[in-house]
Chains A and B, each alone.
Chain A
Amino acid sequence: MGAAGLAIGLMNCQNDAKSCRNQGGKLPIVGNRDITSQGDTLYPTIRAFTFTNQEGKAITNHTFQDKIYVVDFFFTSCPTICPKVTAQMLRVYERFKNNSNLLLLSHTIDPKRDTPDYLRNYAQKLGISDAQKWHFVTGEKDSLYAIANDYFSIAKEDPNTPGGFDHSGRLILVDKARRVRSFCDGTNPQEVDCFLRDIETLLKEP
């Protein structure tokens, strides 16, 4: 009887999460996998990278060693979806700011304008003074656009879109082995609710 009550209680807790893509358990690895001739499974991983953050420091894949991290793409002069996505990145930041196992990484797709100074200014306006937690990075345009592909995101120049750049407003969750484990539409707060649960799930993974 008590167990039934508990079960119903738990079901109630999870009610609002029913529409989430990932229903507890282990998060899947996103992307197509290859099987080698030896029969090993190869999962897609994020390539090695070097960018520069808002403090002018080099940020590489080693910066994220033994951490999980959340990624997005934006530009500071963006007149369309960026502020909406940034507001959702802020939710992630607020929720996990005291958890040192999770970092945030925002890439500009307008490196010509978005110098480290510009990015520092932007971060400060968002109230992000701790550059160890949330890196806003710039770098070679080609490298930025290429790595977007690894994160299953789109970043490209397009003079026909407002602001001059086209991008998907996705948030992407990466594990310690540099594999994408979850993503969501950063313009949709309900999807981000699920995404926050996925982060909790991945943090528990050894």
Chain B
Amino acid sequence: MKLKLIYFIFGIFIVLYACNDNPYKQGKILYANFCANCHGERGEGLKSLIPPLLQSDYLEQHRKELPCIIHQGLKGEIEVNGRKYNQEMPAIPKLSFFEITNVLNYIQLNINQSDTKNIFTADEVEQGLKKCE
């Protein structure tokens, strides 16, 4: 019984470690499934209809709100790189904080080639989600 528990905990650590070690792997799949249809495969957006995620000042300025935006969606007018957008973004409530972390890091580090100092931690995202309105 005790041995089983040790195996179980060990297993969890391996899974968590594997995911942590590969920040883009899950993020890439999630991005393709939930984001790319609208925001484009390279985050380029679509004219004045859908804002870009690539080199977007909005992402920099609203870092703390990003987990909630993915979780709850977004309504109303926003301005991105000087252009106004007003197309409702659907919520994706089924993503866990861990998945949101991975997709944000895919956008940050892969699409935007951002410095790794800008990486999102799972803690940061979990805290961010607690502040959703």
Contacts and interface: CB of A to CB of B under 8 A. Distances in A.
Is B one of A's binding partners? Answer: yes
Interface of A: 77, 79-84, 86-87, 90, 122, 124-127, 162-163, 187
B37 A80 contact: yes
Interface of B: 36-38, 40, 46-50, 87-88, 90
B46 A81 contact: no
Given A77-B88, A79-B90, A162-B90, A125 B49 contact: yes
18 contacts: A77-B88, A79-B38, A79-B90, A80-B37, A81-B37, A83-B37, A83-B49, A83-B50, A84-B36, A84-B38, A86-B46, A87-B40, A87-B46, A122-B49, A125-B47, A125-B49, A125-B87, A187-B37
A83 B88 contact: no
Contacts of B47: 90, 125-127
B15 to A, nearest CB: 29
A34 B37 CA distance: 39
Nearest to B90: A79
Contacts of A126: 46-49
A84 B35 CA distance: 11
Contact of B38 (A83, A124, A125, A127): A83
A14 to B, nearest CB: 27
A47 B37 CA distance: 32
Contacts of A90: 46-47
A90 B50 CA distance: 14
A125 B37 contact: no
A77 B38 CA distance: 11
Contacts of B88: 77
B73 to A, nearest CB: 9
Contacts of A83: 37-38, 46, 49-50
Given A77-B88, A81-B37, A162-B90, A127 B46 contact: no
B129 to A, nearest CB: 21
Contacts of A82: 37
Nearest to B85: A125
A83 B48 CA distance: 12
Nearest to A79: B90
Question: Which of B47, B87, B88 has the most chain A CB atoms closer than 10 A to its own CB?
Answer: B47
B48 A125 contact: yes
A122 B37 CA distance: 17
A86 B46 CA distance: 9
A80 B38 CA distance: 7
A163 B90 CA distance: 9
Given A77-B88, A87-B46, 10 more contacts: A80-B37, A83-B50, A87-B40, A90-B46, A122-B49, A124-B48, A126-B49, A162-B90, A163-B90, A187-B37
B44 to A, nearest CB: 9
